[in-house]
Amino acid sequence: MKTALITGITGQDGSYLAELLLEKGYMVHGIKRRASSFNTKRIDHLYIDQHEQHINFKLHYGDLTDSTNLIRIIQETQPDEIYNLGAMSHVKVSFDSPEYVANVDGIGTLRILEAVRILGLEKKTRIYQASTSELYGGLEENKNEKGFYDENSPFYPRSPYGVAKIYGFWITKNYREAYKMYACNGILFNHESPRRGETFVTRKITMATAAIALGKQECLYLGNLNALRDWGHAKDYVEAMWCILQQEEPEDYVIATGVTTSVRDFVRLAFAELGIQLTFEGESENEVAKVISCDHPDFQLEVGQTVVKIDPRYYRPTEVDLLIGDPTKSKIKLGWEPKYDLKSLVKEMVMFDIEIMKDNYNPQWEHLAQ
């Protein structure tokens, strides 16, 4: 039986990855942070099962800022594979806490690599580092000849998050070269799911779409509607993480769909899932989206009703305008292809949020900052 250790197991990706590895027969260890309230809702179903089937699942308290703790957990668990997914992962918030982000997302990666080295596990333990398309920063001139970002595109991070992650990327590559460690970067483009954190734009949109359709919320406030993102499904992307660590040679891979869509079109798609068509009017801070038709018998939205407005609070000091990834290498070498397209992703998220909003609407969600 292989043993895996996942940092960030309580997050979106950590929860899907834990499920995948358990299905594959792994012993799965995860690091969770101590919090003043429960923070394991994405993995509770695995945890509860512990008394029955999943004795292969164990959580450890820890933090990526705490070297001694990481060394102890790695020593205790002797993992064959470490997936370093733990991070302060919100780009906008990283402008508010840049030093913390550097410590967790940047130096945290070093702490994992060093722990493996200190314990003499370089030959045994394979390491996956959660790198990101934010490394590219969306600079037009850095795209490849096909108009995508690939493994050879230059980096130009545009946030403290991106800068911290660039350290994580290079220190992973350096340890691979310097100490012959099996350490790889997955350069993942945005991936979403019903488990996506509520302050990322896709989930913010699908939750609000559901609440507005049900008549529980009036309007959704967003920032930059022009931003373009290459959105995939987290379930597909955790499969790629696993594949990356199963190759003979350690390498870095771009994981993406190769399709880019604006935030504005994501809003359109989400409302359309519920039979609500929108039109966008006005420009920049005065842009709004209004209902032009509502065909669903369960939802009573007025034609002309404004359902989206801009709040400049959600603008970022520096923005990544456009991301689109070239997954050619991962398709050829890993045999990886996404199973979900954007429409099926949006549908799953909106339908999930309709169920939540029916019973558990919380007015605070309307005022989600970030």
Catalytic annotation, residues? 132, 134, 161
Instruction: Output the smallest distance, CB 17 to ligand GDR, in A.
Output: 15
CB of 39 vs ligand GDR, minimal distance in Å: 17
Per-residue DSSP letters for 76-114? HH--SEEEE--S---HHHHTTSHHHHIIIIIIHHHHHHH
**Closest Cα partner for 224 from 189, 196, 191, 264?**
264
Q: Which residue number, 290 or 353, has a Cβ lying nearer to ligand NDP?
A: 353
224: which 2 tokens? 């930059």
Give residue 131's Cα distance to chain centre: 10
> C-beta of 349: minimal distance to ligand GDR in Å?
12
Chosen from ligand NDP, ligand GDR, none, partner binding at 280 (C-beta under 5 to 8 Å by type): none
Tell me which H or E stretch contains 348: helix 342-360
Task: Return the closest-CA partner of residue 320 out of 10, 126, 94, 97.
Answer: 94
Nearer to ligand GDR, 27 or 255 (CB): 255
Count CB neighbours of 280 within 10 A. 15
Residue closer to ligand GDR by CB (options 175, 200) is 200
> Which residues lie near ligand NDP (CB under 6 A)?
7-8, 10-14, 31, 33, 35, 39, 63-65, 85-89, 104, 130, 132, 188, 190-191, 197
**Binding at 354: pick from ligand GDR, ligand NDP, none (beta carbon under 5-8 Å per type):** none
- Least distance from ligand NDP to the Cβ atom of residue 175, Å: 17
* Residue, CB closest to ligand NDP: 11
Q: Give which of 36, 34, 60 is closest to 47, Cα–Cα.
A: 60
Q: Could you say which of ligand GDR, ligand NDP, none residue 33 binds, taking C-beta under 5 to 8 angstroms by partner kind?
A: ligand NDP
CA dist 277 and 127 (Å) reads 46
Residue 207: name its binding partner from ligand NDP, ligand GDR, none (Cβ under 5 to 8 Å by kind). none
Please check whether residue 310 is in contact with residue 287, taking contact to mean a CB–CB distance below 8 angstroms: yes
Strands (DSSP E) contained in 204-266 are: 220-222, 228-229, 232-233, 253-255, 261-262
Nearer of residues 47 and 221 to ligand GDR, judged by Cβ: 221
Alpha helical stretches, state H, 132-262: 160-179, 201-213, 234-244
CB of 285 to ligand GDR, least distance (A): 12
For residues 8 and 64, give the distance between their C-alpha atoms in angstroms, rounded to a whole number: 9
The tally of CA atoms less than 13 A away on the side-chain side of residue 241 is: 29
Which residues of the chain form contacts with ligand GDR (CB under 6 A)?
Answer: 89, 91-92, 132-134, 189-190, 199-202, 204, 222-224, 227, 229, 263, 314, 316, 319-320, 370
| Closer Cβ to ligand GDR, 27 or 164, answer by number | 164
Name the binder of 217 from ligand NDP, ligand GDR, none, CB < 5-8 A by kind. none
Q: Which residue number has the CB closest to ligand GDR?
A: 227
CB of 157 to ligand NDP, least distance (A): 12
Contacted by 77, from ligand NDP, ligand GDR, none: CB < 5 to 8 Å by type: none
**Of 284, 316, 345, residue with least CA distance to 138:** 316
- Residue (92 or 290) nearer to ligand GDR, CB: 92
